[in-house]
Amino acid sequence: MTGDSTRCVKAVAYEGSPGSPLQQGPVFAAPYLLGEDETGEADTYARASNPGWRALESALASLEGAVAARVVGSGMSAITVALRAFARPGVTVVVPADGYYQVRAYAQEYLAPLGMVVRELSVADFGDGTLRAVLEQAGEGAVVLAETPSNPGLDTVDLRATAELCRAAGALLLVDNTTATPLGQLPLALGADVVVASGTKSLSGHSDLLFGYVAVSDPALVARLDRERLHSGTVLGPFETWLAHRSLGTAGLRFGRQCTNALAVARMLGEHPAVAAVRYPGLESDPSHPVAAAQMQRFGPLVTFVLPTRDDVHRFVKAAELVVPATSFGGIHTTADRRARWGDPVPEGFVRLSCGIEDTIDLLDDLRTALDSVRRA
């Protein structure tokens, strides 16, 4: 199997002519000149299509193993565009009960008033027969959104089994692949119909832009996506498009180091006396590991753990030289977020740590020193 860095470089490859740049510069959105025959123009208005989008979308489709991908302004836009494009009034829409909280808010505040039946299911509900019962009651046309690994709990949904269940029920399966990225997991190859993701995080990887995308396995779904993006105007700007495309070439190197760091950090945290309840899908002792190992190539940059109190989290971050307090994740810096501040149903001392690309030994030494200071406090 081709390695991740090779996949990333090939995805953004530019077949130019002698004397042309190896990497294209930004394609700025501007009015396009129209032809006299009034037919056949590839681009007429930048909100509908433009060369910069096509280059980035081609790379994303290649990485996800999709027939097509469409970029939008953020990861949340990817979810809302996909739900509006594929769900209709009267159908059942399943969203994660223990995933990103903004998705639940959107479904209840916007989709439910439009006549859609919103059901919130946890990762456990996907595997214990609850989803099957919901789909049997819903009938054909249901839309199921799964997030795996979940954010922030890092539980995993068995995508093969869920895809078979959705297919038998005539439901469409959407998978939020933000945490895993296509370098860690390929939901379409596991049977999903649609991938939604925030490229803001590990794929762009420098904490300096917002973007999201939707990738599909069926060409028949593309027109509905295009229509929704055009009408909603939830588009990606030209400079962000260029930055994202440029960043993809190094995603394999960055993500590989992040995952290496995350596994080493998780093992260290499990042995430190100041820490409780470490979660990482790559740990053989983790309850999510059997499913993760069966469907993931890499286990991602996120590790979660619990310190005794809220103040201990702040002491930990202040004592660490290599940890930055931030709510986004997937960048080159190691970041920490106390998730209870956002209302997630987690302990006050729950930390979601996103491992960066620092040298592993340096990161481990820094985290140990910070945790030792928490224990002494």
Catalytic residue among 70, 84, 119, 201: 201
Query: Is residue 100 among the annotated active site residues?
Result: yes
Catalytic residue among 47, 132, 267, 310: 47
Query: Is residue 10 among the annotated active site residues?
Result: no
Catalytic residue among 176, 193, 337, 344: 176
| DSSP code of residue 111 | I
Catalytic residue among 4, 70, 98, 100: 100
Query: Is residue 70 among the annotated active site residues?
Result: no
Query: Is residue 213 among the annotated active site residues?
Result: no
**Residue 216 · residue 328 · CB < 8 Å:** no
Strand partners, 72: 212
Instruction: Provide the edge-to-edge strand list for the sheet that holds 212-216.
Output: 68-72, 212-216, 194-198, 172-176, 143-147, 92-96, 117-121
Distance CA 185, CA 298 (A): 7
Q: Which of the residues are catalytic?
A: 47, 100, 176, 201
